[in-house]
Structure 1
Amino acid sequence: MTYLGEGWDSTAVLVGGRWVERRPRRPEIGPQLLRESVVMPWLAPLLPLPVPVPVIVSEAPVVVRHELVPGEEQHALNAVQGRQLGEFLRALHAAPVAEAVERGAGPRRLPIARFRAEVRVPGGEELLARLDGLPADTLVHGDLGPEHVLGRDGALTGVIDFGDLHVGDAAIDLAWALHSTSPEFAGALAEAYGVTRELRERALIWHRLGPWHEVLYGNDIGDPEVVEVGLAGVRDRLGVGVTHG
């Protein structure tokens, strides 16, 4: 086995050079991994890029395993990759929601009360208020960022980490892609996906909210450095001074 690393939710090792084995870092993540093993075999054939398709190795403790998705994290994304990701997201967001719900995907409740208690920022209430009334009618990846988009030789080779897959606002999957990437990549993605002005504005709301989750996670694990990184992100994206609980 080769240790691959750990995210917020799970640890991963490479088995036999081919299989990625994942274990939850916290008890509440176990059901999330089991849900992936039900949803992803149905979803994968609908998508134009490779994605993990976990199978259950053990339920007590929870262990799942899937074939290694090829490629590496990309640090300089190009227009070809932007078009690929735009087409990928268009296909994902067209997946039948009712069928996803039947397999265990559902809405995700945002920790609004914790946001208010643990991140106090001028303008924060206005941002949180903008979350009211956003659509929740699309199957979304839910945590799409550079570490989850893999590529090689100038093209994308896969998208990973569907632990936050849920029924929500399509704009959440466009937050990083439209607002934290190069104009070349973002423009090609927007054209391939068919991004509207209203969708772009909603994506900016989700982009600004992203670091708030990092503050909560840092508090959960008792790591002040993670909290400070999250707060720096809040400051950067809102352009205001911040205090936290």
Structure 2
Amino acid sequence: MTYLGEGWDSTAELVGGRWVERRPRRAEIGPQLVRESVVMPWLAPLLPLPVPVPVVISDDPLVVRHELVPGAEVTSLYAVQGRQLGEFLRALHAVPVAEAAERGVGPMTLPVERFRAEVQVPGGDELLAEIGGLPADTLVHGDLGPEHVLGRDGVLTGVIDFGDLHIGDAAIDLAWALHSTPPEFVDALVAAYGVTDELRRRALIWHQLGPWHEVLYGNDIGDPRVAAGGLEGVRDRLAIGVSQGPTD
């Protein structure tokens, strides 16, 4: 077994060079991993890139296992990967919401009151007010960033970590892709997906909200450095909105 690392929710080890085993780091993550084992076998054939399809191999302690998705975290992004990701998200967002709900996928509940109490910055209340008016009518990955998009030899080879899969706003999956990637990648993604001005507007809102979760996580684990880093990100991303003008 080879230790692969850990995220906020689970730890991962590579077994036999082929299988990834994941274990929850907190009790509340257990049901999330079990849900993935129900949803992903149904969802995977509907998507144009490989994704994890976990199965439960132990109930106590809970362990899920899936075949290793090929590739590594992408460090350089070009038009071809933008087109691939646009096609992937278009397919994911076209999946019937009712069928996902039948398999236990529901809406995401944002910790808005904690945000208000623990992240007090100029412009914060206005951003939280924007969040309250966003749609929740699409099956979304919910945590799409560079660490969850894999590639090799200039092309994407898979998308991983569907623990935050939920029924929400399609724009949440465009936040990183539109606001933290090179222009040629963005242009190709926009063309492949069919990104509208309204989706761009909402994607910026979700991009600005991202570091707020890091502040709360830092507080939860008692690490002021993590919380401080999140707070710095909050300020930086709110400044993006100011420089681009009002989001409405």
Shift of 1:225: 1.2
- Tell me if 1:116 matches 2:94: no
1:21-48 C-alpha deviation (Å, 9 max, x unpaired) = 0000000000000000000000000000
CA–CA distance in structure 2, aligned partners of residues 125 and 208 of structure 1: 12
CA–CA distance in structure 1, aligned partners of residues 228 and 8 of structure 2: 16
Report the AA paired with residue 130 of structure 1.
E
Partner of residue 2, structure 1? 2
Partner of residue 100, structure 1? 100
Partner of residue 69, structure 2? 69
Report the AA paired with residue 146 of structure 2.
P
CA–CA distance in structure 2, aligned partners of residues 122 and 99 of structure 1: 41
Report the AA paired with residue 176 of structure 2.
W
Partner of residue 49, structure 2? 49
Partner of residue 30, structure 1? 30
Partner of residue 243, structure 1? none
Report the AA paired with residue 225 of structure 1.
R
CA–CA distance in structure 2, aligned partners of residues 45 and 81 of structure 1: 20
TM-score (normalizing by structure 2): 0.96
Partner of residue 225, structure 2? 225
CA–CA distance in structure 2, aligned partners of residues 235 and 48 of structure 1: 36
CA–CA distance in structure 1, aligned partners of residues 134 and 78 of structure 2: 30
Query: Stretches of 4+ moved more than 3 A in 1?
Result: none
CA–CA distance in structure 2, aligned partners of residues 100 and 59 of structure 1: 24
Shift of 1:132: 1.6
Q: Which sections of structure 1, spanning at least 5 residues, go unmatched?
A: 241-245
CA–CA distance in structure 2, aligned partners of residues 225 and 72 of structure 1: 27
Shift of 1:58: 1.1
1:41-100 C-alpha deviation (Å, 9 max, x unpaired) = 000000000000000011221110000000000111110000000000000000111010
CA–CA distance in structure 1, aligned partners of residues 86 and 6 of structure 2: 27
Shift of 1:235: 1.3
How does 1:1-245 map onto structure 2 within 5 Å?
1-239=1-239
TM-score (normalizing by structure 1): 0.97
3-state SS of paired residue (2:139): strand
CA–CA distance in structure 1, aligned partners of residues 217 and 92 of structure 2: 27
3-state SS of paired residue (1:104): coil
3-state SS of paired residue (1:130): helix
When the two chains are superposed, the root-mean-square deviation of aligned CA atoms in Å is 0.8
Report the AA paired with residue 110 of structure 1.
L
3-state SS of paired residue (1:101): helix
3-state SS of paired residue (1:22): strand
The count of aligned residue pairs is 240
Partner of residue 245, structure 2? none
Shift of 1:239: 2.6
Shift of 1:7: 0.3
1:126-161 C-alpha deviation (Å, 9 max, x unpaired) = 000001221100000000000000000000000000
CA–CA distance in structure 2, aligned partners of residues 233 and 186 of structure 1: 22
Report the AA paired with residue 106 of structure 2.
G
3-state SS of paired residue (2:198): helix
Report the AA paired with residue 186 of structure 2.
A
3-state SS of paired residue (2:131): coil
Shift of 1:229: 1.1
Report the AA paired with residue 42 of structure 1.
W
CA–CA distance in structure 2, aligned partners of residues 72 and 189 of structure 1: 20
Report the AA paired with residue 12 of structure 1.
A
